[in-house]
Amino acid sequence: MKTILLLEDLPEIRAWLKTLVMEVFPDGQISEAARVHDALELVSAIKFDLALCDLGLPDGSGVAVVERLRETQSECQSVVVTIHDDDEHLFPALQAGAFGYILKEQPRQLITEQLQRMSQGEPPLSPSIARRVIAYFAAQSKPQQPDLMPHVSLTERESEVLLRVAKGFTLPEIGVQLGLSRHTIADYVKQIYRKLNVSSRAEAALEAQRLGLFRR
């Protein structure tokens, strides 16, 4: 049995998402929330396996929920469900620990497929997100305080995958090019997401330390 959090403010879309999720995970137990506040309450009460979070909500951004889940329930897989396809909106969510994203307007079948793939550990990665990640790690590789900063860097292979994604190659294509299996490529992408989150959290902690704030 899977516990699933569904955070979406539009009732019709929430209902539609619910039926879709129930289709993919027939034995899932779904908790619904329309606001960030409600979602955070649910997070503190229930342990979730999967969270589908909208970004633009009436009382804030779904990124806060993704962040809380990352902090308190590290096993939970957060997926951003949004109509924003641009990296400006998606990247902060990915940094906060989201494992992938789904664009809401896509056909039901496509979303189902993506959800299944993600639940199997195969997150999506668009060229623009890949470019953002490359730029992020390029900036991280020359930190101003290397001693304080737990250095998180990408491996050569991970960078290779990112570069190819950025140039518009699909993951299966990259697998063929690098002589790797589809699953191995997916693992790389997963690893990239994880490292992005770890590095971002370290950066945030450092920033907080620098400002004299302590979170825990």
* Interface contacts to other proteins, rule CB under 8 A: 10, 12-13, 16, 56, 83-86, 104-108, 126-128, 131, 165-170, 173
Q: Which CB atom, from 157 or from 169, has the smaller least distance to other proteins? A: 169
For residue 132, the minimal CB distance to other proteins (Å) is 11
Measured distance CA(1)–CA(48) in Å, rounded: 11
Q: Which CB atom, from 141 or from 170, has the smaller least distance to other proteins? A: 170
Q: Which CB atom, from 84 or from 157, has the smaller least distance to other proteins? A: 84
For residue 195, the minimal CB distance to other proteins (Å) is 21
Quick count: other Cβ atoms within 10 Å of Cβ 40?
Answer: 18
Q: Which helix (H) or strand (E) holds 52?
A: strand 50-53
For residue 115, the minimal CB distance to other proteins (Å) is 15
Measured distance CA(43)–CA(75) in Å, rounded: 13
For residue 127, the minimal CB distance to other proteins (Å) is 4
Nearest alpha carbon to residue 137 among 207, 197, 64: 197
Q: Which helix (H) or strand (E) holds 182?
A: helix 182-210
Q: Which CB atom, from 97 or from 123, has the smaller least distance to other proteins? A: 123
Q: Which CB atom, from 63 or from 152, has the smaller least distance to other proteins? A: 63
Round to the nearest angstrom and report the end-to-end CA distance of the chain.
Answer: 32
**Surface-to-core class of residue 64, CB atoms within 10 Å of its CB (0-12 exposed, 13-18 middle, 19+ buried):** middle
For residue 148, the minimal CB distance to other proteins (Å) is 33
Strand partners, 3: 29
